[in-house]
Structure 1
Amino acid sequence: MDSVPAHWHRMRRTVHDVLRTRCILLRFIPPELIDIILELAEYWACVMSNRSTQMLVKASTETEPTSEQNIYLQSARVPRGSRVRRVTFRVRSCDQGKSNNAKCRGTYKGTSSWFEVGVVEAPQELVASNSEPDLTSNQSHSRRWFLQSNIHGARYRKLHEVVWSVYDQVTDPASTLDESDGAVKNAPNPDPNRLTTGSGSGRGFLENLHPGSSISLYAQAKYPGWENHVFSAEIEMECFL
């Protein structure tokens, strides 16, 4: 079993924690300085969503890639009045555990079992009510990003962590295209950067998260014989209030 990195145990602050700290600081510090202090300290509210039940996705033409059947986890909504600064994904999974391609086995090369994430916007009435996201809503219009590949032909379950931070994002809109909808269709053939870690860069992802948005985590497999075995997943959103 793989170990859990030490930084996973850092203190996670709730929305209440951050708002309470703001009120305390207002007694001593001008309001215009509080934002700067909280941002530099990365004093962000944490919104957690997780699932730990097993799910199997087999490559099939019967299920559309955008189908809710492919969604393993749907996150909570982005809190009202907040900006998402960092999202951490943790997924424990593996593929079918066998492959005839000995050169790619044990690497991220040639894998056809992977994960995507989509941003789903909520109707304004749901944003105002702070209702939980509904898996039965139309997911097909959500924008998609490649997240993580499984290791090719590995029998053991692997825990992957992918962190997308606002400090790592590329602001040029043209450079986000290879990580959004177009790249997802070609996910089994990752670019050179993905061959090392199996993960996507998430360019343009955080900019598309707004108050009321939620994140869908999709498990995918392509080509006959390929499978995606998912054991657990976690989505951690850190939001500036």
Structure 2
Amino acid sequence: MSGDHDASAAGPQTDETTGASATRPAHEPTIADVLVIKTMLNRSLRLPPEIIDTVVDLAEYWPHSSTEVLFNDGSVVARGNNIHTQGTGQENGFMIRTPPLGLRTWRRSLRKPNQPVDTTPPKPQPPGEEFSTDDFQNLTAAPPPMLAHPCRRIVFTIKSHDQGWGGDFANQGTYNGSWTWFEAGLERWCTRSPTGTDVVEQQAPQAQQPSLTLDDICTVLPPVEWDPETEEHDFKHPLCAADNLKVQSNVTAEREWKTHRVVWSYTDDIDPERDVEAAVKLEEQGRGKATGDGKFVRDLKLGDVVTLWAMARFGGWVNKVESAKIDVYYAV
């Protein structure tokens, strides 16, 4: 599948489309395309590998993975609770996960083989001791060695709306006061995962390399905490949106479907503490004010999995979704 990608995008942005097709590049390179270009540059110009890598990076000539989920009936993915329905709503709805960053494929050993890997809900397994970059090299989609941090850009494309009423009248039609939104998450394979008491450690995958099975993957974001009452691990979702993970909120009290295309790049450099004006603009676009620093993209490791969650808070607030897509671009 090819992804929505604006090759001219330079920096954090939110593209909103309401019907007209956005300009798309004529060509989305595959891994083979990138390797051919690198070989041509090496043979014709005799450039050193590090110079070739820099040229390809500056040209943004990257392969990518694309994952999409469709809700043809406009499903309610998240619903806020109130005092009468406390605990019965689904305030945090898992939507989709990407393939492991830079790796060949999943090893589809699910307990329910008929359940798609990209939409199978995660289990709250906390992270522990991590695999090294070398442990992933023989699983990469391109000839090794691949970079430890190969991600270059993430594009989220979401079509959604809220319940179409409510909130302060002054906020209606804007992103202010919206209590339905989307957050990014992170999954990662670890060699060890802590037990409930965090005193004794247990082996996660019994292998010398990551198993690439969902049974062994750990959740880094949202945080996973031990609940002493239930004696089980559970996801820890805060009441308010996380400024560094909030991909996009819905327009407040708007019934019409709206498509948001949000680009996170490794070159983004908006520090919300230093550049308050730019951070405010991100919030006005419905984004988290700390999502413009590029840190999430730059910190992604080889083999990491990006997830997307739909959120809703307080009674009456509903997050309805028609589709969601994540395109992840990476260097090889």
Distance 1:64 1:138, change over 3 A: farther
Letter in 2 for 1:86: R
- 1:23 aligned to 36, 39, 54, which one? 39
| Distance of 1:140 and 1:213 partners within structure 2 | 10
Contact 2:185-2:222 at 8 Å conserved across structures: yes
Q: Does 1:34 align with 2:52?
A: yes
Counterpart pick for 1:101 among 157, 163, 168: 168
Q: Deviations over 1:147-194 (max 9, x none)?
A: 101000000010001111111135x7x96xxxxxxxxxxxxxxx7334
Question: 2:181 — aligned with what?
Answer: 114
Q: Does 1:58 align with 2:158?
A: no
Greater fraction of residues in helix: 1
2:167 and 2:252 in contact (8 A); partners too: no
Correspondence for 1:150 among 241, 244, 250: 250
Q: TM-score, normalised by structure 2?
A: 0.59
Provide, for residues 178-222 of structure 1, a one-character-per-residue CA deviation record: whole Å limited to 9, x for no partner. Answer: xxxxxxxxxxxxx73344211232432112211110111000000
Higher relative contact order (CA 8 A, sep 6+): 1
Partner of 1:114, secondary structure, is strand
Indicate the SS of the match to 2:183.
Answer: strand
Which amino acid letter does the alignment assign opposite residue 75 of structure 2? M
Letter of the structure 1 residue corresponding to residue 22 of structure 2: P
Name which of 138, 148, 160 aligns with 2:260.
160
In 2, the alpha carbon distance for the partners of 1:76 and 1:135 equals 15
Task: Quote the RMSD (CA, aligned, Å).
Answer: 3.0
Task: Check conservation: 1:127, 1:211, Cα contact below 8 A.
Answer: no
Structure-2 residue corresponding to 1:183: none
Q: What are the ranges of 5 or more consecutive residues in structure 2 without an aligned counterpart?
A: 1-17, 103-139, 141-145, 192-204, 224-241, 274-278
SS of the residue corresponding to residue 32 of structure 1 reads helix
Q: Aligned equivalents of 1:162 and 1:96: distance in 2? A: 22
Structure 1 residue 49 corresponds to structure 2 residue 67: yes
The alignment status of 1:12 with 2:28, answered yes or no, reads yes
1:18-52 CA-partner distances (Å, limit 9, x unpaired) = 22322333322322321121012111111111111
Q: Name the SS of the counterpart of 1:24 in structure 2.
A: helix
Larger Rg: 2
Q: Residues 92, 141 of structure 1: CA spacing in aligned structure 2 closer, same or farther, 3 A cutoff?
A: closer
Q: Within 2, Cα distance between the matches of 1:162 and 1:154?
A: 19
Picking from 13, 16, 19, the partner of 1:2 is 19
Distance in 2 separating the partners of 1:77 and 1:220:
24
1:134 aligned to which of 208, 214, 220: 214
Q: Is the 8 A contact 1:119 1:208 kept in 2?
A: no
- Could you tell me whether the CA contact under 8 Å between 2:190 and 2:210 is conserved in 1? no
Which residue, 133, 144, 156 being the options, matches 1:89?
156
The one-letter code sitting in structure 1 at the alignment partner of 2:162 is D
Q: Distance in 1 between matches of 2:167 and 2:61?
A: 48
Shift in CA distance, 10/151, structure 1 to aligned 2, threshold 3 Å: farther
* Number of residue pairs matched by the alignment: 221
Q: 1:128 to 1:235 in 2, by over 3 A?
A: farther
Going from structure 1 to structure 2, the CA distance change for 1:94 and 1:135 (only over 3 Å counts) comes to farther
For 1:210, the equivalent position in structure 2 comes to 301
**Amino acid in structure 1 at the alignment position of 2:252:** H
Mapped partners of 2:161, 2:307: distance in 1: 19
Partner in structure 2 of residue 188 of structure 1 = none
Deviations 1:125-155 (A, max 9, x none): 7995683x63895536546711101000000
* 2:155 aligned partner, one-letter code: T
**In 2 relative to 1, CA 115–38 (structure 1 residues): closer, same or farther, beyond 3 Å?**
same
Confirm or deny: 8 A CA contact 1:95 1:155 kept in the other structure.
yes
- For the 8 Å contact 2:70–2:324, the answer to whether it is kept is yes
